[in-house]
A and B are shown apart, each in its own frame.
Chain A
Amino acid sequence: MYRYDSYDQSIVDARVEEFRDQVQRRLTGALTEDQFKPLRLMNGLYLQLHAYMLRVAIPYGTLSGKQMRKLGEIAAKYDKGYGHFTTRQNLQYNWIKLADAPDILAELATVEMHAIQTSGNCIRNISSDQYAGVSADEVADPRPWAELLRQWSSFHPEFTYLPRKFKIAVIASDDDRAAMRLHDIGLKLVSKDGVIGAEVYAGGGMGRTPMVAPLIRDFVAEEEIVSYLEACLRVYNRYGRRDNKYKARIKILVHEIGVEEYKRQVEEEFAHMRELGLNPPTEELDRIRAFFANPAYETGLSEDVDRTDPAFALWVDRQVTAHKAPGYAIVNISLKPLTGIPGDASAEQIELVASLAEQYSLDELRVTHAQNLVLPHVRKADLYAIWQKLEEAGLAEANLDLITDIIACPGLDYCALANARSIPLAQKIAQRFADAERQAELGELKLKISGCINACGHHHAGHIGILGVDRKGVENFQLLLGGSGAQDASLGQITGPGFSEDGVVDAIEKVTDIYLAERTDGERFLDTYRRIGMKPFKEAIYG
Chain B
Amino acid sequence: MVEFLSFRDGEAAQEPAVTVESFTGQSNATAVRIEPGEDARELLPHLDRLSLVEVNFPAYGDGRGYSAARILRESGFQGELRAVGDVLVDQINAMRRCGFDSFHPNKALDDAAVERALNRYADVYQKAIDGRQPVWAKRHPEKIDG
Residues of A within 8 A of B140 (CB): 280-281, 283-284, 287
Q: Are B94 and A160 in contact (CB under 8 A)?
A: yes
Q: Which of B64, B74, B126, B127 contacts A237 (CB 8 A)?
A: B64
- Could you tell me the distance in whole angstroms from the C-beta of B65 to the nearest C-beta in chain A? 9
Proximity string of chain B (132-146) to chain A, C-beta cutoff 8 Å, 1 when within and 0 when not:
001111111001100
A346 contacts the other chain (CB 8 A): no
Q: Are B98 and A157 in contact (CB under 8 A)?
A: yes
- Could you tell me the distance in whole angstroms from the C-beta of A181 to the nearest C-beta in chain B? 26
Q: Are A156 and B120 in contact (CB under 8 A)?
A: no
Q: Are B122 and A237 in contact (CB under 8 A)?
A: no
Assuming A158-B128, A281-B140, is B64 touching A7 (CB within 8 A)? Answer: no
Q: Which chain A residues in 159-184 approach chain B with CB under 8 Å?
A: 159-162
- Apart from A8-B135, A39-B90, A158-B98, list 16 A-B contacts with CB within 8 A: A11-B121, A11-B123, A38-B61, A121-B61, A151-B125, A152-B126, A157-B66, A158-B67, A161-B62, A161-B66, A161-B91, A237-B64, A272-B74, A280-B136, A280-B140, A281-B144
- Name A's B-contacting residues (CB within 8 A): 5, 7-8, 10-11, 14, 17-18, 21-22, 38-39, 121, 151-152, 154-162, 234, 237-238, 242, 272, 276-278, 280-281, 283-284, 287
Q: Are A161 and B126 in contact (CB under 8 A)?
A: no
Q: Are A278 and B126 in contact (CB under 8 A)?
A: yes
**Chain A CB within 10 Å — which of B66, B70, B121 has the most?**
B66
B8 contacts the other chain (CB 8 A): no
Q: Which of A17, A160, A234, A284 contacts B136 (CB 8 A)?
A: A284
Q: Which of A152, A158, A162, A281 contacts B143 (CB 8 A)?
A: A281
Residues of B within 8 A of A287 (CB): 139-140
B60 contacts the other chain (CB 8 A): yes
Can you name the residue of chain B whose Cβ is closest to the Cβ of A120? B61
Q: Which of B120, B124, B139 contacts A284 (CB 8 A)?
A: B139
Can you name the residue of chain B whose Cβ is closest to the Cβ of A22? B90
B63 contacts the other chain (CB 8 A): yes
- Could you tell me the distance in whole angstroms from the C-beta of A101 to the nearest C-beta in chain B? 17
Residues of A within 8 A of B134 (CB): 280
- Could you tell me the distance in whole angstroms from the C-beta of A208 to the nearest C-beta in chain B? 21
B82 contacts the other chain (CB 8 A): no
B104 contacts the other chain (CB 8 A): no
Measured between alpha carbons, how far is A156 from B129 in the docked complex, in Å? 12
Measured between alpha carbons, how far is A238 from B36 in the docked complex, in Å? 8
Residues of B within 8 A of A238 (CB): 39, 64, 67-68
B116 contacts the other chain (CB 8 A): yes
Q: Are A21 and B116 in contact (CB under 8 A)?
A: yes
Measured between alpha carbons, how far is A283 from B90 in the docked complex, in Å? 33
Can you name the residue of chain A whose Cβ is closest to the Cβ of B69? A158
- Could you tell me the distance in whole angstroms from the C-beta of A233 to the nearest C-beta in chain B? 9
Assuming A155-B94, A161-B66, A238-B67, is B139 touching A7 (CB within 8 A)? Answer: yes
Q: Are B63 and A162 in contact (CB under 8 A)?
A: yes
Residues of A within 8 A of B126 (CB): 152, 156-157, 278
Residues of B within 8 A of A14 (CB): 120-122
Can you name the residue of chain B whose Cβ is closest to the Cβ of A9? B123
Q: Are A161 and B70 in contact (CB under 8 A)?
A: no
Can you name the residue of chain B whose Cβ is closest to the Cβ of A162? B63
Residues of B within 8 A of A154 (CB): 125
Can you name the residue of chain A whose Cβ is closest to the Cβ of B74? A276
Q: Are A157 and B135 in contact (CB under 8 A)?
A: no
Q: Are B121 and A161 in contact (CB under 8 A)?
A: no
- Could you tell me the distance in whole angstroms from the C-beta of B118 to the nearest C-beta in chain A? 12
Q: Are B125 and A5 in contact (CB under 8 A)?
A: no
Residues of A within 8 A of B33 (CB): none
3 A-B pairs with least C-beta separation: A161-B63, A157-B97, A280-B136
- Could you tell me the distance in whole angstroms from the C-beta of A34 to the nearest C-beta in chain B? 12
- Could you tell me the distance in whole angstroms from the C-beta of B136 to the nearest C-beta in chain A? 4
Residues of A within 8 A of B127 (CB): 276-278
Q: Are B62 and A11 in contact (CB under 8 A)?
A: no
Residues of B within 8 A of A22 (CB): 90
Q: Which of A17, A152, A162, A277 contacts B125 (CB 8 A)?
A: A152
Can you name the residue of chain A whose Cβ is closest to the Cβ of B63? A161
- Could you tell me the distance in whole angstroms from the C-beta of A105 to the nearest C-beta in chain B? 15
Proximity string of chain B (84-120) to chain A, C-beta cutoff 8 Å, 1 when within and 0 when not:
0000001101110110000000000000000010001
- Could you tell me the distance in whole angstroms from the C-beta of B128 to the nearest C-beta in chain A? 5
Residues of A within 8 A of B135 (CB): 7-8, 11, 151
Measured between alpha carbons, how far is A18 from B90 in the docked complex, in Å? 10
Residues of A within 8 A of B120 (CB): 14, 17-18
Q: Which chain B residues in 29-63 approach chain A with CB under 8 Å?
A: 36, 39, 60-63
Measured between alpha carbons, how far is A225 from B82 in the docked complex, in Å? 31
